[in-house]
Amino acid sequence: GAVVSQHPSWVICKSGTSVKIECRSLDFQATTMFWYRQFPKQSLMLMATSNEGSKATYEQGVEKDKFLINHASLTLSTLTVTSAHPEDSSFYICSARDRTGGYLDTEAFFGQGTRLTVV
């Protein structure tokens, strides 16, 4: 299957600093990328949807000024957690969908996730 690479796999940062997480589709072009957050023993919660060259669409309750998303190219999307606080500690996962997918081809491929710990 297609490969989505997420970097870094884990990061520890001080409270008040910003952290950038990268998501790359390695062997396909991704028109759409998604960012999820997973709390322990809970589901993957969609945070935002980003389309290449346009502003991200955020889900209700997600602060767009805190979680900055940039989808600068068809193979790269970044999530920046600004002014991080301990409550932002979580597992963040990106996924990407192949732009060649048709109407029923809505399979998305996931990165390996990033464990963020804010101390």
Partner 1 sequence: DQQVKQNSPSLSVQEGRISILNCDYTNSMFDYFLWYKKYPAEGPTFLISISSIKDKNEDGRFTVFLNKSAKHLSLHIVPSQPGDSAVYFCAASALDSGTYKYIFGTGTRLKVLA
Does residue 29 belong to the site contacting partner 1 (CB under 8 A)? no
Name 12's bridge partners.
Answer: 117
Residue 118 CB, nearest distance to partner 1 (Å)? 17
CA pair distance 44, 75, nearest whole angstrom: 22
Contact indicator for 98, 2 with CB cutoff of 8 Å: yes
Does residue 27 belong to the site contacting partner 1 (CB under 8 A)? no
Q: Residue from 49, 80, 82, 89 that binds partner 1 (CB under 8 A)?
A: 49
Does residue 112 belong to the site contacting partner 1 (CB under 8 A)? yes
Token pair, residue 43, equals 């589901």
Does residue 77 belong to the site contacting partner 1 (CB under 8 A)? no
Residue 110 CB, nearest distance to partner 1 (Å)? 4
Token pair, residue 24, equals 């790359």
Residues with Cβ < 8 Å from 105, sequence gap 6 or more?
Answer: 98
Dihedral in degrees, nearest 10, Cα atoms 104, 57, 113, 107? 0
Q: Residue from 79, 81, 93, 118 that binds partner 1 (CB under 8 A)?
A: 93
The residues binding partner 1 (CB under 8 A) are 1, 4, 6, 9, 32, 34, 36, 41-46, 49, 51, 57, 91, 93, 95, 97, 104, 106-113, 115
